[in-house]
Amino acid sequence: MSAAPANIRIYLVDDHPIVRFGLSALLQMQEDFTIVGSSGSGQDALQVLARTVVDVILVDLRMQGLSGIDTLERLREYHPQVKPIVLSSFEFDEEIYSAVKAGAMGFLHKEAPPEDIMKAIRQVYAGKQAFPRRIAERLDGKRMTAGLSGREREVLELVAKGLTNKEVAATLNISQFTVRNHMNHIAEKLEVSDRTEAIFIALQTGLITLN
């Protein structure tokens, strides 16, 4: 006699109603899934979780108000029993790494096939991580954040915009010597030989973005 399927209680957090509606419609068709609710913001979700039992929560990374990362951090602090999976339309390494540090156990692209979404939920419910192979390999790489400080990223973003060391120094009100030191540290951490390669690596991995 086979055992009854698990009842995985799922909560959805995304500021796009159509995403919440679509995911709810998809997931509630599974006999081992129960959609206990959804919210358009991290703040609303945290209030609901204070009075609702949830096993797995799907959290959009980019939301108005409380960000996905902030929501994950508060989940870890106040609702550590809830297992989070992040949702995103983007795959910037820095965001994914920050989400993992904040407690995310899995990652789902919003265009992932339905079977991948359901598999990830079941894996995370079972206490396992659920990251696509391409992301798991990048998470294992040393270049994802490379330990760059906020100021180092700020310097690198300005350099990537075409500013010289002198112009960066004037913009940040620091000396050219300090800028040169930052660039040397950046090159060491990213394991590159020049600023062109540093900019390329930082843009490709999401360490910096250019508006």
- Quick one: fold of 150-205? Arc Repressor Mutant, subunit A (1.10.10)
Phi, psi of 39 (to 5 degrees): -140, 155
Q: What confidence tens digit (pLDDT) does each residue in 74-113 have?
A: 999 999 999 999 998 877 767 787 888 888 999 999 899 9
Spatial neighbors of 163 by CB under 8 A, at least 6 apart, are: 171
Do the beta carbons of residue 10 and residue 55 sit within 8 Å?
yes
DSSP letter at 112 equals -
2 pLDDT more than 50: no
Over residues 177-202, the pLDDT tens digits come to 999 999 999 998 888 889 998 888 77
pLDDT at res. 60? 93
Query: Model confidence over 137-178: pLDDT tens digits?
Result: 766 654 556 678 889 989 999 999 999 999 999 999 999 999
Tokens of 58: 């799907």
Handedness of CA 106, 21, 39, 89 (dihedral sign): positive
Q: Region 112-137: what's the mean pLDDT?
A: 89
Q: Per-residue pLDDT tens for 5-64?
A: 679 999 999 999 999 999 999 999 999 999 999 999 999 999 999 999 999 999 998 888
Bridge partner list, 108:
87
Instruction: Enter the tokens of residue 206.
Output: 């999401």
Which residue type sits at 37? G
- Longest CA–CA span in the chain (Å) reads 75
The encoded tokens of residue 87 equal: 């949702």
User: Which amino acid does the sequence have at 17?
Assistant: P
List, by residue range, all CATH 1.10.10.10 domains of the chain. 150-205
User: Side-chain half-sphere of 26: how many Cα atoms within 13 Å?
Assistant: 17
Checking if the pLDDT of 206 tops 80, the result is: no
Structure tokens at 39: 């919210």
**Is 8-140 in CATH node 3.40.50.2300?**
yes
Q: H-helix or E-strand containing 83?
A: strand 83-88
Residue 1: is its pLDDT beyond 80? no
Q: Which of 6, 26, 24, 5 is nearest to 14 (CA)?
A: 24
